[in-house]
Structure 1
Amino acid sequence: MADVGDQMPSHDSPTTPFRKVVLPSEETVQIPRPPAQRLPAQQVPEQQPPDSVLSSLPPIPEPPKRGIGDIPMKVVYLVAAIIGTVLAVFLIFMLFSGDVPANKKAAERGASVAPAPASAGSAAPAPSGTASRVALPAAPASRKYPTLSGTASVVIGIVSDKNTGISYPSLAAPWKAKSFPPFSAAQRIGKVAVPPTVIASAMFPGDSPAKEPSKDADYRALAVEAARWAITTQYPQGATLTWTASKKIPVGKGWTLGYQVTYTLSGKEQVAQAMVTVVEVGKTKPAMLLASIPEAHKKHWRDINTLVERIRPL
């Protein structure tokens, strides 16, 4: 018996429906797959590598220690700049602290006030040096300092006398900074003689004032006592004094007296121009500046005018 398929025409017409082929039910078996069971994310066990794998891994190297060579160059430059600045300031301080004029070095040597010594072998008579009160005329309450004759020396610096607390001009040659006891600072022309050619500073001679000065009249009275001391210690015995000026100091508290001293030396009457200034410096005694220029050096009398105008408390 022929198959059904063999009896069908070789070509179906477009209107012929498709045949439905049905396989035997036992040839098709569908096995349902059980639903997959998933663990929560937090319950997924962490897998650790075997110990053999861990032991074979190289050890984790320690972080390298930073040495001097690892410091950034900016930090090195900054530290070097700071050190260089400190050294420069230190060197400048050391250099200039030793750069002290001879006048200032002399000013820092203190001494008690006593009669100035006469040079050895000098024919000039020694100053009286007595403590007796020499009679002096009353000082004028005010008198302008006259312009003295001569030519003013060049001012080459400032004498800062720390022992007394005052400063005043340092003058050019022939003035020279010289030790001149009992003064703490001094400039002289020529050898030590009586009377000397000197500019010198010291504390007020003698005892401290019984009453602290407060008025111009008080400082003027102290200046009179300083001039009295100068007459008895810096000039031959019998010297007399004539006041030439009386004025307040330009800065601070104090008083200046100018005077001319007449004395006899080797039988010849001579004169000297002089001044004395007392300055309040906050101590129990005021400071004193003394200048005396005998007739032998009268071409330097104008230097007294320079001192009068430029004395200052430190």
Structure 2
Amino acid sequence: MPNGVGGNYGTKAVPTYVTADAETAPLPKITIEEPPPPPPPPVKRSLLARLGDLPMRVIYRGVAGGLAVVAVAVVFFVTGWGKGEPTAARPAAAEPRATLPASSSGAVPSVSEEPSASGSALSVPSVPGSASEPSEVSAQGSASPVPTPVPTPTSGNSALVTAQADPRVPALPADRKLADFRGHGAATKGRVKDKRSGITFARFVKEWKLTKSSPFATRRTLPAAKGAGHRALLASCPVPIAVQEDLKDTAFLAARWTLNYHPAGSEITWTASQPIKAGEQKGWLLGYRVSYEAGGRKHVSNAAVALVEVPSAKPALVFITIPDAQKKRWADINTLMSSVRAL
């Protein structure tokens, strides 16, 4: 029967959510699995336990090797073989005879026994005329050469040895005085005071002209002479070479050094070698001729160096050289050298 609002009485409506529940499938049940427990930690085994796992043949070999090493060490310690010393357990080898070269007469010198500081070596003397060196025969019989002692040269005596071997410079002669050259020395006025070198000497005027000093402390020159090959020079400075124990040897090196201010190929011939007094100080004078060639002709310069000991570190040097083209000025060498004094 209609109810007037579009429905019928006596009919019960069914809710939609009930219908939906009836049509929906049941949800599956989710099960979470537990993680497996961690493995137990490895059991630590002792070194002896691990050695027990090795085969017995390996253990026997290791023990045998260790005993062999210990036995060798004991033998070396007891017998002294490690020190190279013969003992009763190891007899010393027969000592070989030292072979020496025969002298010019054919005789072989004997070996003389000269105990060293330790008393354990034999000294073999050198053979006259032989190039061989003496040697020492040790207790074991091995011959070792003994080097000839060579002194270690200092910078000073090394320079002297080199200079003495220079063919341009002969050995110094016996002491002799500087000769007087003919003529008269140039006019002088006052004195040159070389404070850097610590000396003073006569000041030449007129012909001797003051020029640039470097590398000297003072320097003067004569006018250039045609065909002379080099220019006359008068200079002073602290000695520019290695100082020797003997002032005479230092003067020798200084004279050789002055060849730097002469033509190439110049050679020295000594004319004087004498001690001098420079006021309160002592000194040494060397006179020499310098031979050289210039323009295809042979020339000679007369020169001299004087060294004076001064309170400073190095001796003072005075140097003069005059070529033969200006030989009328050679007397200036006497004037200069006789005027040198220490400040």
Query: Scaled by the length of structure 2, what TM-score is found?
Result: 0.49
**Structure 1: 5+ residue stretches without partners:** 1-131
Contact 2:217–2:236 at 8 Å: present in 1 too?
A: yes
- Tell me by how many angstroms 1:205 deviates: 1.2
Contact 1:250–1:309 at 8 Å: present in 2 too?
A: no
Answering whether residue 321 of structure 2 is matched by residue 292 of structure 1, we say yes
DSSP-derived class of the 2:338 partner: helix
Answering whether residue 240 of structure 2 is matched by residue 224 of structure 1, we say no
- Tell me by how many angstroms 1:150 deviates: 3.1
Answering whether residue 310 of structure 2 is matched by residue 302 of structure 1, we say no
- Tell me by how many angstroms 1:180 deviates: 3.4
Contact 1:277–1:289 at 8 Å: present in 2 too?
A: yes
- Tell me by how many angstroms 1:142 deviates: 1.2
Match of 1:248 among 275, 279, 283: 275
- Tell me by how many angstroms 1:307 deviates: 1.2
Residue 197 of structure 1 is matched in structure 2 by 232
Residue 180 of structure 2 is matched in structure 1 by 147
1:46-85 equivalent positions in 2, closer than 5 A: none
1:1-314 equivalent positions in 2, closer than 5 A: 133=163, 134-135=166-167, 136-191=169-224, 195-207=230-242, 209=243, 213=245, 218-231=246-259, 233-251=260-278, 252-314=281-343
> How far apart in 2 are the matches of 1:223 and 1:189?
24
Computed over aligned residues only, the root mean square deviation of the Cα atoms, in angstroms, reads 1.8
**Structure 2: 5+ residue stretches without partners:** 1-161
**Higher RCO, 1 or 2 (CA under 8 Å, sep at least 6)?**
1
Which residue identity is paired with 1:244? T
DSSP-derived class of the 2:277 partner: coil
Which residue identity is paired with 1:165? G
> How far apart in 2 are the matches of 1:234 and 1:276?
13
Deviations 1:225-262 (A, max 9, x none): 0000011x111111111111111123222100000111
Deviations 1:103-151 (A, max 9, x none): xxxxxxxxxxxxxxxxxxxxxxxxxxxxx74331121231011011232
Which ranges of 4 or more aligned residues in structure 1 deviate by more than 6 Å?
A: none
DSSP-derived class of the 2:186 partner: coil
Query: Scaled by the length of structure 1, what TM-score is found?
Result: 0.53
> How far apart in 1 are the matches of 2:289 and 2:183?
15
Contact 2:268–2:288 at 8 Å: present in 1 too?
A: yes
> How far apart in 1 are the matches of 2:237 and 2:182?
27
> How far apart in 2 are the matches of 1:165 and 1:301?
25
